[in-house]
Homo-oligomer: A and B are copies of this chain.
Amino acid sequence: MTYCVGMVLDKGLVLMSDTRTNSGVDNISVFRKMAHWQVPGERIIAVMTAGNLATTQSVISQLEERTKAPNERRNSVYDAPTMFQVATEVGQLLRETIQERQDVNGQQGQGRFTATMIVAGQIKGMEPRLFLIYPEGNFIEASWDTPFFQIGETKYGRPILIRAYDRTMSFEDAVKLLMVSFDSTLKANLSVGLPLDMMVIERDQFEPSQSRRITHEDEYFQTISAGWGDALRNAFDALPKYRFPEDD
């Protein structure tokens, strides 16, 4: 499993991903699930991945290769004129990669090589945009009605995102919110694990204004992790007490 969240704010984009991969509970590793490409002053494009690791690494490597010799290769993330076309390309690459593995492995391959991705970024002259890419290669785009996407183990960390997200929030508050959401998920699902990767893409900067790895030694994350339990219990205690009806 995996947990990644991409979020649109008025001020720009915030991304966070965990780094645990596992094939069974006795075979766990740390892999980065967040990649990005940038052209200073012109564009920044970030991708987060969930699903079969061979599939997602293959897609990221192909995207990377295309940027290395752009003259010889079509459809580099450096060349796409819009974020919509970047999402289209990533979707097509993802679908083809999954399809190829399934074809080679026949019936045994059914559903085994699937993956999902979040694509986020901005190209000069256009708005920051956020997409969720399905294994079938199609995708949806975030809007102010649905301003964040989660992939992987999405459920445990969703209630706090729904309740506390605010498009006008600062990047600092957004990172804090993501840490709470990730902490709830980490506590509930062993297949999501530290360290976390975090990236902030400020509007019209075309480079990560923050890009950090949050390890288990991160003091702020420890504070959140320890404090959120107490905060939740206090919130629970602050709600009015239940009384059984007298007539029961």
Contacts and interface: CB of A to CB of B under 8 A. Distances in A.
Contacts of A241: 172-173, 176
A179 B242 contact: yes
A194 interface: no
A41 interface: no
Interface string A181-217: 0001001100000000000100000000011100000
Contacts of A175: 242, 244
Contact of A231 (B171, B177, B200, B236): B236
A155 B212 CA distance: 29
A111 interface: no
Contact of A245 (B160, B212, B231): B212
Given A223-B240, A234-B235, A238-B231, A159 B187 contact: yes
B171 A244 contact: yes
A162 interface: yes
A177 B238 CA distance: 12
A173 to B, nearest CB: 7
Given A210-B248, A244-B172, A248-B212, A239 B232 contact: no
